[in-house]
Amino acid sequence: MKRKRTVALRNLAAYQSPPAEKIGKYKILGTLGRGGMGIVYKGLDPDIEREVAIKTIRLDTVVEGAEKDELLARVVREAKAAGRLNHPNIITIYDVIHKGELTFIIMQYIDGHSLMNQIDSGTRLSPREVIDLLRPLADALDYAHQMGIVHRDIKPANILIDKTGKPVLADFGIARMEASTMTGPGKTIGTLSYMAPEQVMGGAVDHRADLFALGVILYELLTGKKPFGGDNMSTIVYKIVNEEPPRVTDLNHDLPKAYEDIIRKALAKNPDERYQSGMAMIADLETPENLAQATHAYDSETSEIRKERVRSRSRIVLAAGLILFAVLGGVGYKMLSSGRASAKPQAPAANAVKPKETPPPGPPQAPPEAPPAVSPAEENLAKLRASFEAGSFEQTIAIAQKILHDEPANAGAREFLNKARDAQLKERARPLIDDGIAKFRSEDFRGCAADMEEALKLDKSNPTATSYLRQAEQAISKAEILGMLEQYRIAVESKDWPTIESLVSPALAAEVKEQFVNWFNGYDGIRVRILDTSANMADDPSGAKLVFSQMIHAVGKQDHKQTMLDQGQSVWELKRVNGSWKVVNISKPSGE
């Protein structure tokens, strides 16, 4: 124990003392600030004469064992996560250097100040300025989330603003890759006032916790106050989990009423009821009347449910408080009784009123039976079921993977893992289907078919995608067949037998060749008029039928007279062969 303390003190002294003139190749220019994890220095990359920020990660508080390894892994993860990101509003990570018990992260230097400094200064922004500030941050978060990275510590101190006014998101030091299980459920990381309910309760966290924090910052910028204030951690946690914040229009009377709907959605307790992307929040801020109309019916339907939920939580908290009060009161009563018993007894006064006798206590009550213990396996399956039914598929996958890591043969976890993955694929298919439907309505049938094919790769049995794919393919086929008819018309008029031959099957080409050769050799000035065209697709997608009327006029080479070569309806039967349509039979309706 003494040796461990000595090492820790030595490392702390090294951390507090100024570093050498260089860290690796980077020259130290000065100190930018101090934080919970370490000092941040200003440095210079001599190779390209670029100013950098050098963040020190102190390891003196964890000097050995698994905790130290975990912290080192977290540092590496920071560089790995942030190094994958390439966005103008996200700090760029350049390098990681290990030196003894210290680790240094070399990153982009921002010459400016933090949003926290701006808020603390009392500077107020107009709603337009707030939107302009948050829009690039929302875009940066959406980009990071698409890359599979959750920041988990969005707060004003981690938003830097350069001298041009551009905001930059800093410190992915506690960002969690969604596929990683290193930071699992049960660990709360981040600054309390900006944390989502699931985060302060130690639950699994996904990208929607970042969007909740962005909503807290939005509220603070619009009103000058945090939505969930308090003098201690317990009060703040209770408000985050159970209470709605004061209305923004009560604190800032200049705001449109529709902003209430936006704030309520941004700070929803249930992640599924929140914004699912940052730019969706920005869009509603810029056109708030749209969300106000859309949420009116929802509010009227769910207001009573929400009120009952709040009343239920209040009853639970009140009951817990009464129990605690009773316990503490009992302890105090026993202490007071013990003190009285040890004091010297005194004779009662002559005029004292004799107290009423208390009846002897009855037989002791048997304690209530404890509820049956829930096994860890049952508890884990209950968590999986609740997460899946709530639609939190990423969380379900993370919990199931953790269970299967410890219990590879757990059939329930495997079932929920597969179900969650299938549901996730279906969610990914939805925007493709929506885009495909829009393309179909604008007659972009090939674009529709491509979107529906991609959607069916994700959700193989989706009936909407299947139906629209079939309709789009039929529309494409009809267009191709009508194009063939136009090619036929031009080829006949120009006496182009090779083109006609390419449109029909080999067997049909041998059958009709003699007729067309006779026309081409015996007539000039051939004109083809097509009328009453109707293309019908067969039940078999590789078959089709084209019915049309035609009149073919020509001038004889010998007598120079106008002659009708063909008149009336024709029926083409077609088959798709190797991706191309071919006419396999030409006939006339009966009676002609």
pLDDT one-digit tens code per residue, 483-515: 899 999 999 999 999 999 999 999 999 999 999
402 and 548 together in one domain? no
For residue 444, give the CATH number of its domain.
1.25.40
Instruction: Quote the CA–CA distance of 502 and 487 in Å, as a whole number.
Output: 10
505 and 454 together in one domain? no
Q: How many structural domains does the chain have?
A: 4
Residue 467 domain flag: no
Is residue 133 over pLDDT 90? yes
Q: Map tokens 């009103």 to a residue.
A: 223
Give residues with Cβ within 8 angstroms of 97, minimum separation 6.
23, 24, 26, 103, 104, 106
- If one compares 80 and 415, the residue with the highest pLDDT of the two is 415
Residue 353 domain flag: no
Q: What is the pLDDT of residue 95?
A: 85
The arithmetic mean of pLDDT across residues 55-79, rounded, is 65
Residue 92 domain flag: yes
Tokens of 92: 């760029």
The arithmetic mean of pLDDT across residues 161-186, rounded, is 62
Catalytic residue among 60, 153, 210, 284: 153
Q: Is 274 helix (H, G, I), strand (E, B) or coil?
A: coil
Burial class (CB in 10 A: 0-12, 13-18, 19+), 564: exposed
- If one compares 251 and 1, the residue with the highest pLDDT of the two is 251
527 and 413 together in one domain? no
Is residue 478 over pLDDT 50? yes
445 and 495 together in one domain? no
Q: Which pLDDT band holds residue 71 (cuts at 50, 70, 90)?
A: low
Q: What is the pLDDT of residue 228?
A: 92
- If one compares 51 and 58, the residue with the highest pLDDT of the two is 51
Q: Which of 75-79, 308-312, 513-517, 585-589 has the highest mean pLDDT?
A: 513-517
Could you list the residue range(s) of the whole structural domain that residue 75 is in? Answer: 2-108
Q: Which pLDDT band holds residue 139 (cuts at 50, 70, 90)?
A: very high
CB 288 within 8 Å of CB 261:
yes
The arithmetic mean of pLDDT across residues 514-537, rounded, is 89
Is residue 194 over pLDDT 90? yes
Q: Measure CA 540 to chain center.
A: 40
103 and 171 together in one domain? no
Residue 385 domain flag: yes
The arithmetic mean of pLDDT across residues 243-247, rounded, is 93
Residue 117 domain flag: yes
Tokens of 386: 């609740």
Residue 504 domain flag: yes
Q: What is the pLDDT of residue 316?
A: 47
- If one compares 431 and 363, the residue with the highest pLDDT of the two is 431
pLDDT tens-digit readout, 320-344: 455 445 544 554 444 444 444 444 4
Is residue 551 over pLDDT 50? yes
Any alpha helices (H) in 443-523, and if so which ranges? 445-458, 463-493, 497-503, 506-522
What does the buried/exposed string (b/e) look like for 22-53 if buried means 16 or more CB atoms within 10 Å of the residue's CB?
ebeebbbeeebeeeebbbbbbbbbeeeeeebb
Report the range of poorest mean pLDDT among 30-39, 99-108, 256-265: 30-39
Q: What is the largest CA-CA distance in the chain?
A: 157
Q: Is 153 a catalytic residue?
A: yes
Q: Which of 29-33, 135-139, 177-181 has the highest mean pLDDT?
A: 135-139
394 and 442 together in one domain? yes
The arithmetic mean of pLDDT across residues 559-571, rounded, is 91
Q: What is the pLDDT of residue 388?
A: 82
196 and 272 together in one domain? yes
DSSP secondary structure string for all residues of 412-427: HHHHHHHHHHHHHHHH
pLDDT tens-digit readout, 374-417: 456 677 778 878 878 777 888 888 888 888 887 888 888 888 88
Q: What is the pLDDT of residue 376?
A: 66
256 and 153 together in one domain? yes
For residue 43, give the CATH number of its domain.
3.30.200.20
The arithmetic mean of pLDDT across residues 583-590, rounded, is 86
pTM: 0.48
Tokens of 46: 């001599």
Q: Which pLDDT band holds residue 519 (cuts at 50, 70, 90)?
A: very high
Is residue 312 over pLDDT 90? no
Mean pLDDT estimate for the chain: 78
Return phi, psi of residue 429, to 5°: -75, -25
Instruction: Quote the CA–CA distance of 475 and 322 in Å, as a whole number.
Output: 71
What is the DSSP code (8-state) at residue 357?
P
Q: What is the pLDDT of residue 427?
A: 85
In whole angstroms, how far apart are CA 402 and each of 101, 138, 289, 568?
A: 31, 31, 44, 73
Q: Which pLDDT band holds residue 60 (cuts at 50, 70, 90)?
A: low
Instruction: Quote the CA–CA distance of 136 and 142 in Å, as a whole number.
Output: 10
Return phi, psi of residue 40, to 5°: -115, 125
CB 146 within 8 Å of CB 104:
no
Instruction: Quote the CA–CA distance of 427 and 210 in Å, as a whole number.
Output: 20
Q: Which pLDDT band holds residue 365 (cuts at 50, 70, 90)?
A: low
91 and 119 together in one domain? no
234 and 124 together in one domain? yes
Q: What is the pLDDT of residue 488?
A: 93
Residue 468 domain flag: no
28 and 166 together in one domain? no
Q: Which of 261, 258, 254 is nearest to 275 (CA)?
A: 261
24 and 167 together in one domain? no
